[in-house]
Amino acid sequence: MNIKKTPFIIMAALAFSLSACGGSDGEGNLTAAQKDDPAVTPGDTSSSVPETPQKQAIDYTLGKAMNARIGKGINMGNTFDATCESCWGAGPVEQSQVQAIAAAGFNSIRLPVRWDLEAGNEAPYTITPEYLARVKEVVGWINAAGLVAIINMHHHQSFLTDTDAANQDAHIARVAGIWQQIATYFADVSDQWLVFELFNEPREGVTAEAHNKMIATVFPIIRQLNPGRTVMFGSNDYNAYTGIRRLQLPADGNIIFTPHYYVPAEYALQGENYQCPEKITTWEATTSEVTKMSDDFAKMRNLADELYPGGLPINIGEFGATECGGKKSRVLWVTQFVKLARQYGVSWNYWGFTRVGGYEIFDKDETNDWSDLETLNALLK
């Protein structure tokens, strides 16, 4: 069965680098060539790009306040980030689903959005009006339910798959043109209820250099049109927290850093798209497993503090584990994650809500209700 899911690359290379949104063919299918890439070495965090120099302390009061509002969230993936809202099985988004998320006790919904297929290729890169209106309708549902909405630029395949550096400026110009329209269209939504995330999981054609150039070009446009809006930034290597070393964030106090977490890969990513392997890997909360996750959080926080003094807010925009490892393991893994997130003041958005290749905890097809109450309770307790 070919289940359409957010694209993925199984990379055990970096802590916090593994995501349910990794490399694929752009249609939601894992590509074996990337999965088995011999160039990917576990634990290899090397890079030829210089580390970001330590900066003067920033007052992150505004970013921290929004991070607290985001709190405990969930991703409604495989909807607007798919090739069409219903193409990968999770959509269309329904208002009753948003209300169920709010009733369960979540504080926010991350809504991944693929603008690439809905915008022109030539300036002014016009976004399909109906698409803008539909995304705004769902944002309205999210806000009406008392939840913060996060919208981003997801699966921007035209840039991600183009590794010709000569085309970087043209791609960045298109990204900027698209964001100018988004920022204009959503400018009337309260700053307290909507967050922008600049670009999901930069990699491949979006090198660290290109990503930083994109930030320097696009962020001033967003800030001019939305002076009070919180803006999130991921990092290269699939939003690896270690990618912050090569990230050049703006000197702005209303921003959030948003790494992803699917670690260890052999446990969290196994058998996605509902194809569990013969040999199952579990997570038993052993001393070494708990120590590893604890060390990841400590290193993430310390690295952010070293490079961006002032307490740069952190939101883990994606984390999750497939059902292959069993419910017991997933509950233990989630419980430890939530404990550490609380300890370090990190907000998060679980991947994901429904029909996301084995990570889901809601059944939209049969019961129209939460299908994994144990994991739900572990997330929200």
Instruction: Provide the residue-wise pLDDT of the chain in tens; the chain has 381 residues.
Output: 333 333 333 233 333 433 345 433 333 332 222 222 323 222 333 334 445 555 689 999 999 999 999 999 999 999 999 999 999 999 999 999 999 999 999 999 999 999 999 999 999 999 999 999 999 999 999 999 999 999 999 999 999 999 999 999 999 999 999 999 999 999 999 999 999 999 999 999 999 999 999 999 999 999 999 999 999 999 999 999 999 999 999 999 999 999 999 999 999 999 999 999 999 999 999 999 999 999 999 999 999 999 999 999 999 999 999 999 999 999 999 999 999 999 999 999 999 999 999 999 999 999 999 999 999 999 998
What are the residues facing 370 on neighbouring strands? 362
Q: pTM of the prediction?
A: 0.89
Total Cβ atoms within 10 A of residue 309: 14
CA-CA-CA-CA torsion sign (72, 347, 266, 238): positive
| Strand-pair category, 362-363 with 369-370 | antiparallel
| Strand-pair category, 148-152 with 108-111 | parallel
**Rounded (10°) CA dihedral 211, 217, 220, 225:** -100
Q: Going along the chain, which residue ranges are E strands?
A: 72-75, 108-111, 148-152, 194-197, 231-233, 255-257, 260-261, 315-316, 318-319, 347-350, 362-363, 369-370
- Considering only CA atoms, which of 238, 239, 230, 245 is closest in space to residue 302? 245
C-beta separation of 283 from 321 below 8 A:
yes
What are the structural domains of the chain? 32-47+61-380 (3.20.20.80)
Helix, strand, coil % over all residues of the chain, rounded to 5: 40, 10, 50
Residue with tokens 């769902």: 138
Cα-atom radius of gyration of the chain, to the nearest Å? 19
